[in-house]
Amino acid sequence: MLSTSYPETEFGDLHRRLFALRVGLLLVVGLLGLRLWHLQILEGPYYRDLSENNRTRQVLLEPARGLIYDRNGLLLANNVSSFSVYVMLEDVKDREVLIQQLSELLGLDPALVRKKMAIKGSKLLPRKIKDRMTLRDATLVESRRLDMPGVMIQVESQRNYPGGLIASHILGYVGEISADQLEKPEFDDLHQGSIVGQYGIEKSYDRHMRGTAGQKNVEVDALGHEKKSSVVDKPQAGNDLYLTIDARLQKLAEDLLGEEQGAIVALDPNNGDILAMASRPAFDPNVLSRELTSKQWVEIVQDEGRPLNNRASQGQYPPGSTFKIPMAVAALETKTMSPSSTVHCTGGYQFGRRLYRDWKAGGHGYVDLHEALVHSCDVYFYSIGQRMGIDVMAEFGKDFGLGRPTGVELPSERSGIMPTPAWKQKVKRESWLPGETISAAIGQGFVTVTPLQMASMMATVANDGVNYRPRLVRAVMDRATGNLQELPAVPRGKVNAKPETFRIIKSALADVVTKGTATRAKSSVVTIGGKTGTAQVAALRTGPEESIPKKFRDHAWFVAFAPVESPKIAVVVLAEHMGHGGAAAAPLAKELIEAYMNLTAPTPVATSGLSGMILDDGRGFKDS
């Protein structure tokens, strides 16, 4: 039998190695045990608190709203930094106690705070309680935040309108999204506290300008106090808008109206650009973009001046004698009258048992179409209206855009009324009366228009029948790419009338200013063509104008274009309860037209700037 033996030295080496291995293993186990003891025993309470009490919250980061500029790069709407207070409902221990605390700190109605917290939505998203906080309020809340679990202060951008009342009806205002709006599909990507456009261009182009919210993760302790945060997605600012208006002309239009109620609209007849659109009384969008109490809102909407009503696009008025322009076109095109046909005006038009009076008691004598427009002879138009009939009148009125919205990019535009027998039967369930045709022939009766429609009509006349949709937005700047997308002019059609017809009409309108009812619009700077109008508000009255309460006085119209030989601007002035258009409205149009010609001249004279407004870096559009 064979036996195996190892030398003593080899056995000793193996024994030493095994011993070293055992010692090494014991050291490793000892170190692991020591680390486990350190983590679980010595620092166990700390890490137990972290694991049990620290949680992550998702906080949305509101985007900066897109900026708004005028056609020359003048800033009309921007953003400023402000403070907002939010509440994370999941961290609120006693909601009623917190409601009372925030109400006292911020001077809010507890019912409003309660309503904010009750708005539907994910409990994982904070509820906005108040924005546009002052530094004092934000500091006050921050100092008490440890006593109010779930409360957090966010620095956000808030909408600001440097010009105050200037162009308020165009720009509109913004506000926190309402509960009703949150239910609508177009707002399905928004949440409680989101800011959206509520009026004007801010509303019409809200989706372009609102931007995309970002997100950050916030680590909070068991009391809802923020420990640390990290931004996951940065918010994407909204796109910028470049409007068609010239802020200098806009300010002048509003200054011309002053404290009087009314509207002024100026258009470029060659493309439909709205150069100015003023409506008075106006409002301050900075005030309306804040959250108002129910009492404050009621005071605004019940104001007798109706400051929220954009009289340019929503005010509906009888056009008065300005309606004689499409009537004259209709008379020539239907061959109801030739340019040389005359009517004998003795101061009234007898139809049946009623005498329809002319504004000139003694009459105008024998007048042809040219003289009838120049001196605004009512009897001439009574006569052609009765011959044509209401359906023909309505057809031509609609060709000029009356009785239908212009399509301007503003919410709630009104269409006015271009009446027909079918319209009256449908709306009033009554038959059309022959005498109503005669009243409609001079822009009274059921006929109503908006100042914007009349500006579009005058632009169409100036442009020999070619009509463009009035527009307010000229281009959109994509903030993400920096690309500027210019929006094209939109033709709406052409009035079915011969060029000779428009030549005759424009010649007469030029003489209206030089020797007719609008001599107060005559300019030494530019040739102006126009038409006056007086819209009757109440029934026929006697006595001097001064003895009639102002609210019952007639509205004053003046519609114009210039230069007559090559039109660049069409202007409409409506002055509510100011009497005759030639005296009250024509001088305002003249001043606005002269200012525009000066502004577009190669070497314009310096004009007054807009107080409080800032010129941008020159990215605006320059007209050739």
Beta bridge partners of 350: 355
324-333 and 499-515 are packed helices; what angle lies between their axes, rounded to 10 degrees? 140
Tokens of 460: 């169409």
Beta bridge partners of 287: none
d(CA 511, CA 374): 6
Note whether 82 and 158 are within 8 A (CB): yes
Note whether 79 and 114 are within 8 A (CB): no
d(CA 449, CA 462): 19
Note whether 156 and 84 are within 8 A (CB): yes
- 321 catalytic, yes or no? yes
Kindly tell me the burial class for residue 214, based on how many C-beta atoms sit within 10 Å of its own C-beta (0-12, 13-18, 19 or more): middle
For residue 141, is it left (φ>0), alpha (ψ between -120 and 50) or beta?
Answer: alpha
d(CA 561, CA 461): 9
Indicate which residue of 321, 376, 439, 456 is catalytic: 321
d(CA 182, CA 166): 30
Note whether 558 and 247 are within 8 A (CB): no
d(CA 351, CA 385): 12
Helix, strand or coil, per DSSP, at residue 46? helix
Q: What are phi and psi of 13, to 5 degrees?
A: -65, -45
Tokens of 47: 């890490």
Start-to-end C-alpha separation, the chain: 119
Helix, strand or coil, per DSSP, at residue 370? helix
Note whether 557 and 322 are within 8 A (CB): yes
Helix, strand or coil, per DSSP, at residue 232? strand
Give me the helices (H) in 516-568, please: none
The catalytic residue positions are 321
